Structure 1
Amino acid sequence: MQPNNRTDVLTIGESMVLFQTIGEKGIKYEPLFTKSLAGAESNVAITLTRLGKKVRWVSKLGKDPFGDYILSTLGGEGVDVSYALRDVEKPTAVYFKESKSYGDPTVYYYRKNSAASNLQPEDVQKEWFDGVKHLHVTGITPALSENAAEAIRKAMKMAKDMGLTISFDPNLRRKLWSEEKARSVLLSLIPLCDVFLPGVEEAEFLLGQQSIEEYGESFLQMGPKVVVLKLGAEGSIGFINGDSVKAAPHVVSQVIDTVGAGDAFAAGFLSVYLDNEAALTHVSLEIALTRANILGALATQFKGDWEGNPSLEEINSIIAGRVEATR
């Protein structure tokens, strides 16, 4: 099956099958688990689709039931998966999330030698970019292996050569690689993107301790046209052309699960940015940040990485104040 020609966003990166404990007794004692899809790039793909964008997702999956499940879930959400690769020798990765009555959940990854970690530079094909306007990638897949990092680098260079805009969320995962390697690879990818989306802790990891304004200026000097810093409970701030815009946070009464919040934030921002990238203004940047803050906050209100993220109609109602945010 060939996708139709217009695609707003192509995203490339690992997706896994997530098993979550139903109760809060911990993995050691909890007998029951739920199964769902997880992965930064697929989280963004699904959320952007709900916000009215046409999205294509590409990765490498095992030729196994878990791979089948990922494809059917993404396809069922309206994401184009027609270019996904299957590996007959490597498995689809899985991970487990352990919910607690306090703090963030603990996660345990089983992704070594997975199909996604076997993504090769030669796997990246120009056909992936047919009819595509924008490429979104994160720093997770480059952390899986040297070859996966080179595949993402090749995809970013190919997208740039073909005239696409590119967004990059570092999405730092310290468990996956050494700090020295992570810093080196992530910094090397920043000049290839147009939109850079770090959190404050990631900015400090990459550049050392600086002021918020210094982070924005430093990253802009590396090449991106837009830098968006996630400030957690303080909202977010965007930098363009020597100017900055800060957006207030969307306040929620409690936090259930923070996993996936950064991906929802990225999708919220990109859903506005893609409609205004040719002439991004102070006003449109503030609108993008405001929507991103709302999406990021709402994502903390449910278990799971993407299931509770709102549709475009729902998010517009929240922004207009017509409905109360209940999650």
Structure 2
Amino acid sequence: MTATGPRTASGTDAVETVDVVTLGESMVTFLPSRPGPLADVPSFERAIGGAESNTACVLAAAGHSARWVGAVGRDGFGDHLLRTIGGYGVDVSSVRRDPHRPTGVYFRTAGDRATDAHEVAYYRAGSAASAMTTANVDLEAVHAGRVLHLSGITAALSAGCLDLLRELTARRPGRPLVSFDVNHRPGLWRDSGAHGPEVLLDLARGADLVLVGDDEAREAWGLADAAAVREALPEPEILVVKHGGRGATAYGPDGARTFVPSLGVDVVAAVGAGDAFAAGFLSATLRALPVRDRLRHGHLTAAAALTVPGDLAAPPARDLADRLAALDDTAWGRLRLGPGWTETAAAGAHTGAGADRAEEEVRTP
């Protein structure tokens, strides 16, 4: 699973090659000041949201070079997104500023987005990102990465975005390793004029690495289990099927199957965990770690997101994550992570605690 960025006729790098390029829509998110339905929330705090930019931010915080490619309006919300995402160390120089279309925004309640106990109000129709096409996106910058990470959300935004995703997942010599997070969002497909499940399956078949939740696979494709997903998706070199709180299963090119259970986590908010898992798995992939450890790094990075209230959380320090990922199965099964666990465990690491005691350092009372 290796790849190189684009080259000019002279053989030099066309643009700076980075570890990971992500492409998609990022929006300004308004988080409620208190629980309750949107009609009763008196004020909101501004944050950012977007699956692909979230993943880029976490990867940059983990020490990788990352680039986010997208489009925002030439407005204050676009300024905020570029400033905030760039503040994580992500290269945003290839983001297009659209003078005619706005930056997308959305409001959400404090409930869990993974259940019915929430409301989300999107204002993204006609957004700058929905106007992305193969003609107005910097494709040189998109391809100048060891990994190109995409998601199914982008394909649902417009016909032009779908054409762009089809172009980027087409199997061609010399392309980066293409990672695709299915991210099935039925609501986005209702007005698209396309059959979302069929489109997503087709795009996934063009990727080298696919991440999908088993709940998504059941809803979109009627597939009952991980083995059925692999049968429907034999093309990707690596397939990761996530089982929510139970764990995740990875299938490799040699037919090997690896299951790693999730960690015990005291959840603060179930938002951003999927993007964080993708970042952790990609980080370990870039480092050529064994598949078991890639899954464990995915779980650890997701646990960092689950134990904070917003979409983004700083990942655990690399030495800490490596230490925990190396635990034996019994110690891994005893881990229980709560709010602030990354800071607590990092402090424990500075005291000289060995890997055999790492689980005690991050254990909640």
Global fold match (TM > 0.5): yes
1:133 aligns with 2:141: no
Tell me what 1:193 maps to: 207
**CA deviation profile, 1:181-216 (whole Å, cap 9, x unmatched):** 111210111121000100001122343133322222
| Alignment-mate amino acid for residue 179 of structure 2 | S
1:154 aligns with 2:167: yes
Shift of residue 129, structure 1, vs aligned partner: 3.8
Tell me what 1:306 maps to: 312
Pair 33,289 (structure 1): closer, same or farther in 2 beyond 3 Å: same
Cα distance in 2, alignment partners of residues 100 and 29 from structure 1: 14
Cα distance in 2, alignment partners of residues 227 and 56 from structure 1: 24
**CA deviation profile, 1:249-301 (whole Å, cap 9, x unmatched):** 11113x2221211000101101111222xxxxxx7000000111122233122
**CA deviation profile, 1:12-65 (whole Å, cap 9, x unmatched):** 000000001011133212212110111000110011111221101000110000
2:135 to 116, 122, 128: 122
Give the length in aligned residue pairs: 315
Spell out the pairing of 1:1-327 with structure 2 (5 A cutoff): 5-100=16-111, 105-129=118-142, 131-157=144-170, 160-178=172-190, 181-220=195-234, 223-240=235-252, 241-253=254-266, 255-276=267-288, 284-316=290-322, 318-319=324-325, 320=355, 321=358, 323-324=361-362
Shift of residue 161, structure 1, vs aligned partner: 3.8
**CA deviation profile, 1:96-142 (whole Å, cap 9, x unmatched):** 11014995542211100000111122123342146421100000111
Cα distance in 2, alignment partners of residues 7 and 123 from structure 1: 21
| Alignment-mate amino acid for residue 321 of structure 2 | I
Answer whether contact 1:138 1:169 (CA < 8 A) is retained.
Answer: yes
The alignment partner of 1:96 has SS state of strand
Moved more, 23-32 or 189-198: 23-32
Cα distance in 1, alignment partners of residues 313 and 46 from structure 2: 12
Answer whether contact 2:15 2:140 (CA < 8 A) is retained.
Answer: no
Cα distance in 2, alignment partners of residues 270 and 200 from structure 1: 19
Moved more, 43-52 or 292-301: 292-301
Answer whether contact 1:50 1:312 (CA < 8 A) is retained.
Answer: no
Cα distance in 1, alignment partners of residues 219 and 40 from structure 2: 36
Shift of residue 83, structure 1, vs aligned partner: 0.5
| Alignment-mate amino acid for residue 94 of structure 1 | V
Answer whether contact 2:107 2:120 (CA < 8 A) is retained.
Answer: yes
| Alignment-mate amino acid for residue 362 of structure 2 | E
| Alignment-mate amino acid for residue 251 of structure 1 | G
Answer whether contact 1:56 1:81 (CA < 8 A) is retained.
Answer: yes
Cα distance in 1, alignment partners of residues 64 and 172 from structure 2: 21
Cα distance in 2, alignment partners of residues 67 and 160 from structure 1: 33
Answer whether contact 1:198 1:228 (CA < 8 A) is retained.
Answer: yes
The alignment partner of 1:80 has SS state of coil
Flag structure 2 segments of 5+ consecutive residues without an equivalent.
1-12, 326-354
Answer whether contact 1:135 1:156 (CA < 8 A) is retained.
Answer: no
The alignment partner of 2:55 has SS state of helix
Answer whether contact 1:50 1:311 (CA < 8 A) is retained.
Answer: no
Tell me how large the CA RMSD over aligned residues is. Answer: 2.4
Answer whether contact 1:318 1:325 (CA < 8 A) is retained.
Answer: no
Pair 79,271 (structure 1): closer, same or farther in 2 beyond 3 Å: same
| Alignment-mate amino acid for residue 298 of structure 2 | A
